Amino acid sequence: MPPPPVKLAKSAAADLLALPEAERENVLARLQEVALTFGSPHRHAGLGLRKLKGRVYEFRASRATRAVFIWREGAIWIEAIGDHQDVLNFLKSHKA
């Protein structure tokens, strides 16, 4: 089965571009791993992937950087990329 498509919200695209190049590459590599393993808990065990609420998930791209995504319409929609506080801010401001 092919991996689900990954889509980037405009705000997440801006977050990604604001990262240093090395961190940006790390986020993209981890995102590819998440897309390949999403839905198979044993395969994504080391990615720091966890469900936050409803259809909202996060994964760790590095020790400090996280990406928040929503599983919607058979796709992974990246909504925010940042640190732990950015994740909390996203959860406070969005209902999913």
CATH number assigned to the domain comprising residue 13: 3.30.2310.20
Residue 86 falls within a domain, yes or no? yes
Specify the number of domains making up the chain: 1
pTM of the entire structure?
0.86
**Is residue 75 left, alpha or beta, with left meaning phi > 0 and alpha meaning psi from -120 to 50?**
beta
For residue 11, the surrounding DSSP H or E stretch is helix 10-18
Name the pLDDT band for 28 (thresholds 50, 70, 90).
very high
Position 1 in a domain: no
Query: Per-residue pLDDT tens for 35-70?
Result: 888 766 655 556 678 899 989 999 998 889 999 999
